[in-house]
Structure 1
Amino acid sequence: MPIHPHSDDEGEALDLQNTRVQKRARCSGHDDNEGLGESSSNEQSSQSQMDFWFHDGDIVLAIERMLVRVHKRVLSRSHVWDDMLEIPQPSYIETYDGLPLVKLYGDTANDWLSLLRWLYNDRQFYTSPSASHFPTLSGALRLSTKYDFPALRTWCITRLLTLWPPLSLVPSLSSTPPLPHALAITLARQTDVPEILPAAFYSLATLKWRNAADGGNAHEVLSPGDLRRVILGREALQELIDEFRSTLDDSPSTLAASDPHYTCKTVLERRWRKAFKDGIGSSNGNGVCVLRTLQEMMIENLEEACDGHLRWHRELARERMEKVVDAVPRMFML
């Protein structure tokens, strides 16, 4: 019986970690990690499938080329699944080894493996390093949204917000490993997580695309509307950077060349021009160059500048960082 379910209620994880696998499923697994280089071997896929082939399972799920034999009571922790399993069945239904066979169209095997690992041992799932890898995280979020497992969905969103946080926190992020910003935008649209969009759009727009970073395949991943947002936002951000580089209109009053503070002003003007001389994506393609540069300027110590001018320099960097953070949602029409 094919099922195309949707989400409508809540679910929780159930820990059945002591249940043992007794039988191998008949079909090999199929891997799909969204082009991120995470594909498993056939042996690994078969082992993953065996992990969820329980001798006392009472329902068989078919996802792509993978079969798993699991427990209705586990699936029923989601009211979506509980409602589906309560629907009266016709006299003839597809079976596998004498059990109901449910074919899940539109889902992927890898997404289901993420969900099942959480369902059968949520504590182990939460502490596993692989749970924070984007393919696992995105799969868990898709299915927790589709089938309404709110605890898992909340955890996934919390993890995503550590990768794509509020813009004011973006400068403190590590630039390695590179993040799949375009995939994150698509995931946020699919699963209704708009909180990560400003950081994801900003980071994608500030990449040096010719380095074959995430921007290199953005046109294949993003919708036409979101691709247009990236382009327009990048242009608007570049205009703002040009302003930072070429003008210091808020600087202390004009000084004569003979004034001892004239050197301070010259040093600071040179610092601002140098900081943004190459424009968008000029740092190393890490997607945080603009905000990170401004954050560095807020705390740096320039020995050639007097205390008064240095305080002005740091305050100007703070004001302009706030300006960028405030402007990004408008730049990308979010």
Structure 2
Amino acid sequence: MQSESAIFARDPILYFADGNIVLSALTSEKKGTLFRIHKSVLSLHSPVFADMFALPEPPSGVNDAYDGVPLVHLHDDAIHVRELLQTFYQPTSLNLVRYDPNTPDKIRGCLLLAKKYQIKSLYDHLVKHFRADWPQSLQEWDALEEEIGLRLNQFQLADINTEFDINYVDDVFPEPASAIRLARELDIPEILPAAFYQLSRLDVTHDRDRWADYTGYDDFYTSLREGERSAHWSLLTSEELIHVFLGREGLQRFAQSLQWKFRHVACTKCCSGPIQDFFDSSSGTPTTC
């Protein structure tokens, strides 16, 4: 076995009596799982497994047997292996919903193994779903914002305790930090602009991983009921946090420059005199006519 200290158990579902290959894998807690499945199913989906099983000699890693069939030790997380195999044997088990904030966590394991074992159809399907949650154009962003606004109005007008299973728009729309983590891990850069922009609009104290420790606990949930959003801020690296704050400052400066420009245009239409007359000498901000 992969570890003498690990205790292996047969998977309660993915262990078929007529299977002709056993895969073993460990979880992060060093608990082992055995999957008895079919070479033909693995070969159908993965050229990596197909090539492995086509070898005339036992492939690297097949150095043991279990329950009368070859045993292959995988160096992948058992939870991820189970998720991948379920897409082969139980396709409906991967229930994906548009805009689900938990999508990155749901698909990460399958994406990692689909990429490793060259399961292109599954990889492309999951990436397409992931990308669709994050706008790629201004029109798509406006459409998402409109949908969020409509959902917020529903919550505010209805008795959320009886008419909805959830209480906040935060529960039904994409979460940016986990999306950034997955996109950078698997090189899916298309979603990064929208995810970073969404983060730049959020209060850094609204951390999904530290709700219970937040000193303004009640105020935090009041903000969520009013439509504010939160993020898994603790997932970000220091470099990513710097990108967020630099982007936020850049947006603020741009908005301020537009404000000054529009005020200047308004002043020049109704006032006369040099431009400096319309700025406060102490702060440098535009004055009104």
Range into which the TM-score falls when normalised by the shorter chain: 0.5 to 0.7
Q: Report whether the alignment pairs 1:212 with 2:207.
A: yes
Q: 1:216 to 1:193 in 2, by over 3 A?
A: closer
**Structure 2 match to 1:200:** 195
Q: Is the counterpart of residue 172 in structure 1 residue 143 in structure 2?
A: yes
Task: Please list the CA deviations of residues 220-255 of structure 1 after superposition, one character each: whole Å capped at 9, or x if unmatched.
Answer: 433443333223222222222333445416856744
> Which residues of structure 1 form unaligned runs of 5+?
3-24, 29-48, 258-334
- Structure 1 counterpart of 2:23: 61
What letter is aligned with 2:14?
F
1:96 corresponds, among 66, 89, 93, to 66
Among 47, 54, 64, the residue aligned to 1:86: 54
Structure 1 counterpart of 2:89, from 90, 99, 120: 120
Q: CA–CA distance in 2 between the matches of 1:224 and 1:86?
A: 46
Q: Distance in 2 between matches of 1:147 and 1:217?
A: 30
Tell whether the 8 Å contact from 2:63 to 2:72 is kept in structure 1 after alignment: no
Task: Report the AA paired with residue 185 of structure 1.
Answer: I
Highest RCO, 1 vs 2 (Cα 8 Å, sep ≥ 6): 1
1:222 and 2:217 matched: no
Superposed, which structure 2 residues align to 1:226-237 within 5 Å?
Answer: 226-237=240-251
**TM-superposition CA deviations, 1:20-43 (whole Å, max 9, x none):** xxxxx9627xxxxxxxxxxxxxxx
AA of the residue aligned to 1:115: L
Distance 1:161 1:250, change over 3 A: farther
Which of 2, 9, 33 lines up with 1:27 in the alignment?
9
Compute the TM-score of the two structures, normalised by the length of structure 1.
0.54
Q: TM-score, normalised by structure 2?
A: 0.61
How has the CA–CA distance of structure 1 residues 100 and 164 changed in structure 2, closer, same or farther, with 3 Å as cutoff? same
**In percent, how many aligned pairs have the same letter?**
33
- Judged with a 3 Å threshold, the aligned counterparts in structure 2 of structure 1 residues 121 and 217 are, in CA distance, closer, same or farther, namely closer
Q: More displaced, 180-189 or 129-138? A: 129-138
CA RMSD of aligned residues (A): 3.3
Instruction: Report SS of the residue matched to 1:50.
Output: strand
Opposite residue 47 of structure 2, the aligned amino acid is H
- Asked if the contact 1:59–1:72 (Cα under 8 Å) also holds between the matched residues in 2, the reply is yes
Separation in structure 2 between the aligned mates of residue 213 and residue 246 of structure 1, nearest angstrom: 37
Uncovered stretches (5+) of structure 2, i.e. residues with no partner:
27-31, 149-168, 210-229, 272-289
Which of 145, 153, 163 pairs up with 2:123?
153
| Preserved CA contact (<8 Å) 2:84 2:113 | yes
1:191 equivalent in alignment to 2:162 = no
